[in-house]
Amino acid sequence: MNRLLLFVIMVVCIVFDGCKHYSPPGPPTTGEIYRPVYAPYADVRTVQTLAPQPLKNAGKIYVKDNYLFINEVGSGIHVIDNSDPQNPVKLSFISIPGNHELSVKDSTLYADNVLDLVALNIADPRNVRLVKRIENAFEYSAYPLATNVRFECADRDRGVVIRWEKASIENPQCYR
């Protein structure tokens, strides 16, 4: 009986020794560290038609009739009359903070405005009007797009995160 008990104890020890708990590697202690840049909710919810602006960081392009709608990543949408493709005419810039996506149906342009979805009447491309806003249609950006980075945790009470910047931060508490 003692041999059987000893054998069982040995088998149990071997089995449990093989069942080590996996722990993922910790966050890097060096490399890029990001800090959120905030803006007040009221500021980012301001959509307005401005004079034409220079293209700096072009994103997606949508063609509707004789018009080009070119996303300026994070800032808004350029409206260009392309009736004469040899001589396109910049008509206006629709300032939409945090904009990355756009779509057009009939005379309505749909765009993301950080957390919100906005519908804009583009019947007169020089004077675009806000038709509807669906607040908080998108998730709050609590993480930078990069992975395997340390960052300062986002705080909704400080406003909405409009972008992430590289920074020198001591002991950042968040990791993605």
What does the pLDDT profile of the chain (176 residues) look like in tens digits? 666 666 667 666 666 665 555 555 555 555 578 889 898 989 989 999 999 999 999 999 999 999 999 999 989 999 999 999 999 999 999 999 989 999 999 999 999 998 999 999 999 988 899 999 999 998 887 777 777 788 888 998 999 887 888 888 777 778 76
Strand partners, 93: 50, 78
pLDDT for 113 equals 93
Strand partners, 173: none
Structural domain spans, the chain: 28-45+138-176, 46-134
> What contacts 24+ positions apart, CB below 8 Å, involve 121-128?
122/64, 122/67, 122/69, 122/79, 125/67, 125/79, 125/81, 125/91, 125/92, 126/49, 126/79, 126/91, 126/92, 127/49, 127/92, 128/49, 128/79, 128/92, 128/94
Rounded CA gap, 51 and 35, in Å? 32
Whole-prediction pTM: 0.72
CATH of 46-134, one of 2.40.10, 3.40.1000, 2.30.30, 1.10.12: 2.40.10
User: What is the CB-side half-sphere exposure of residue 5 using CA atoms within 13 A?
Assistant: 2
pLDDT for 63 equals 95
Rounded CA gap, 98 and 74, in Å? 4
